[in-house]
Amino acid sequence: MIKKIYVVFLIILTASCSSLDKGYNENLLDVDKKLISKLELIQNDLQMNNLTRLKESLDVSITERYAINKLSEYDLSKVKFYFTKPEILKNIGKNTIGLRFGEEVFYFNVEYKYLNGDWKITKFTERR
């Protein structure tokens, strides 16, 4: 009898967990569009030397925040920004960003996380 109760409990548990996962994915259908539009807004702000939206989107370590703060020392209106299409898996996204200063190009790997209805930058590392 205990084995039957245990099996029924496991079936109910796995069925309820699978339905939660389905509902979670349904809520994130337009999440990729939100990330792309946010990246476009950040790009437009950076070209006007406005770092406020970028700094509001950060959820990174101190060393990564330092690298982003170094960007404020440059005139970003003359910089070209290139974004690859983000790869999104559930609530985590990744892409590569290129910054072109005249003849030099710097690449950064960026990771995002969807938290509380908004995308946050969780990792910002220079690619070598």
The closest of 63, 60, 47, 69 to 119, measured between CA atoms, is 60
Cα–Cα distance, 84 to 36 (Å, whole number): 10
pLDDT by 10s per residue, the chain, length 128: 676 665 555 666 565 554 444 444 545 557 778 888 888 888 888 888 888 888 888 888 887 778 777 777 878 888 888 888 889 888 899 999 998 888 889 898 999 998 888 889 898 888 87
By CB neighbour count within 10 A (0-12 exposed, 13-18 middle, 19+ buried), where does 71 fall? middle
CB atoms within 10 A of CB 48: 9
Beta bridge partner(s), residue 110: 95, 124
Judge contact between 66 and 55, C-beta under 8 A. Answer: no
Cα–Cα distance, 17 to 35 (Å, whole number): 27
> What's the predicted TM-score (pTM) here?
0.69
